[in-house]
C-alpha cells in the first residue's frame, strides 16, 4: 500500500471530491467511527432518598440520590454505554482536614457502588479516587500548616479510599489527584487485598485547567477551595513533554488505562500519548466544555447534536479509546436514530 508521501496524480485524474459526493462513499472511507462503546457517563451522587438537584451551571445535569441513580444506571445500560463514573457530593458536616469520610465503608460512593452492582451488574462502575470532595479546604490532599498539599500522607489516604471502593465491588478506580507515586501504592494495596481484577484508570495528564468550574459547583467544592488553586500538583497547561513523563510513570506503576483531562484543548496530548505508548487512552470532556456547548446550543448559536458529535469524533481522531462526557446519553440516542 502506498504511503502518504507517494506522488499523486494531478487534477483532473484525481478528484478528491468524487468520494465525498454521496453518503455511501463518505461512509466507506470514514476513518473514525463513534459508537456507544466509546462513552463513559459521569454522574453526581448525593445522600438521601428521592433527591434530585439540578446543577445550575450545567443545564441538563442533576445530582441524584442512590435510589434514583439506580434507575439512571438501568437506562445507561439499556443505551449501550459500558461504564458510569461516580462523583460523590459530600455533606459539609462530613468534610474534615484528614478526609476520613473518603474511606468510610458506608460513605456515599461505597453505598452507591454496592447498590449499582446489585441492580445492574453488567454495567461497569468507575469511582473517583481523590480527596477534594472530603476536605474542608477543597484541595485534593492533606495540607500542612502553610496550606501545601503533602504527597505521602495524601497517598496513604488515597490507598485506603481505593481499597474501600474495591471492597464495595467497583470495577475501576480512577485516581485523579495527581500525587506522585499513588498509582504504584494503590496497585500494591489492591493486589495485597486480593482485588486483582480491579482496574486502574490513572488521570495521568490532568492539567490545572480553568475549565473545571461547573464541576466544582456540582460537587460542592468550589466554596471550599475559594480563591485557592491546584497549581502545585496539577499540570501546567503550557507543558507537553511533562505529560509523557507522567503517563510513563503511571503505566510503569500498574495503571491499566490513562486519562488526559480536559478534552478538546488538549487533543495534542492525547495524540502524543497514544502514539508513544499505545496503551488504552481516555479523555475527559470536562464540565466547562459541556457548559459552553450547552449554552451556545440553548441560545440557538450552535446545532447541539452536530457540534457534540463533531467534538466526539475529534477526540477519537486524536487517538482516544474512550471519552468521559456528560452528553453520553444524548450521544447514544443520536447514534441509534
Q: Binding site membership for Mg(2+): which residues?
A: 246
Q: Looking at the chain, how many residues does it have?
A: 337
- To the query of whether residue 305 is one of the catalytic residues in this protein, the response is no
- The Cα–Cα gap between 311 and 94 comes to 38
- From 117, 206, 294, 316, active-site residue: 206
- The Cα–Cα gap between 179 and 232 comes to 10
Binding residues: 246
User: At what angle are helices 108-119 and 151-168 packed, to 10 degrees?
Assistant: 30
- The Cα–Cα gap between 15 and 17 comes to 5
- From 261, 274, 316, 329, active-site residue: 261
Q: Which residues pair with 207 in a beta bridge?
A: 235
How many beta carbons lie within 10 A of that of residue 86, not counting itself? Answer: 23
C-alpha cell read off for 323? 471519552
Q: Which residues does 244 contact at the CB level (< 8 Å), separation at least 6?
A: 272, 273, 276
- The Cα–Cα gap between 121 and 323 comes to 22
- To the query of whether residue 95 is one of the catalytic residues in this protein, the response is no
Which residues are the active-site residues? Answer: 206, 261
Amino acid at each position: 500500500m502506498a504511503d502518504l508521501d507517494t506522488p499523486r496524480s494531478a487534477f483532473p485524474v484525481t478528484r478528491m471530491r468524487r468520494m465525498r459526493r454521496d453518503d455511501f462513499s463518505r461512509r466507506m472511507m470514514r476513518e473514525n467511527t463513534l459508537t456507544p462503546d466509546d462513552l463513559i457517563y459521569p454522574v453526581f451522587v448525593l445522600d438521601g432518598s428521592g433527591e434530585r438537584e439540578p446543577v445550575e451551571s450545567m443545564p441538563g445535569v442533576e445530582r441524584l440520590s442512590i435510589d434514583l441513580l439506580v434507575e439512571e444506571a438501568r437506562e445507561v445500560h439499556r443505551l449501550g454505554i459500558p461504564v458510569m463514573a461516580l462523583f460523590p457530593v459530600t455533606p459539609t458536616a462530613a468534610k474534615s482536614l484528614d478526609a476520613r469520610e473518603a474511606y468510610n465503608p458506608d460513605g456515599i460512593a461505597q453505598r452507591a457502588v454496592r447498590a449499582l452492582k446489585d441492580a445492574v451488574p453488567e454495567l461497569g462502575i468507575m469511582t473517583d479516587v481523590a480527596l477534594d470532595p472530603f476536605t474542608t479546604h477543597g484541595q485534593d490532599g492533606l495540607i500542612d500548616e502553610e496550606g501545601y498539599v503533602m504527597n505521602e500522607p495524601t497517598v496513604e489516604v488515597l490507598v485506603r479510599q481505593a481499597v474501600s471502593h474495591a471492597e464495595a465491588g467497583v470495577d475501576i478506580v480512577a485516581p485523579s489527584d495527581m500525587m506522585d507515586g499513588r498509582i504504584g501504592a494503590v496497585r500494591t494495596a489492591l493486589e495485597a487485598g486480593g482485588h486483582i481484577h480491579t482496574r486502574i484508570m490513572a488521570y495521568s495528564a490532568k492539567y490545572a485547567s480553568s475549565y473545571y468550574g461547573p464541576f466544582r459547583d456540582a460537587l460542592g467544592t468550589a466554596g471550599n477551595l475559594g480563591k485557592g488553586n491546584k497549581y502545585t500538583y496539577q499540570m501546567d497547561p503550557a507543558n507537553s513533554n511533562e505529560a509523557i513523563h507522567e503517563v510513563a510513570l503511571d503505566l510503569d506503576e500498574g495503571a491499566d488505562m490513562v486519562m488526559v483531562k480536559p478534552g478538546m484543548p488538549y487533543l495534542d496530548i492525547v495524540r502524543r500519548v497514544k502514539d508513544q505508548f499505545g496503551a488504552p487512552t481516555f479523555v475527559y470532556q470536562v464540565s466547562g466544555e459541556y457548559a459552553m456547548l450547552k449554552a451556545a446550543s440553548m441560545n440557538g448559536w450552535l446545532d447541539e447534536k452536530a457540534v457534540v458529535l463533531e467534538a466526539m469524533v475529534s477526540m477519537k481522531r486524536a487517538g482516544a479509546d474512550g471519552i468521559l462526557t456528560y452528553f453520553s446519553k444524548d450521544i447514544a440516542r443520536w447514534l441509534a436514530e
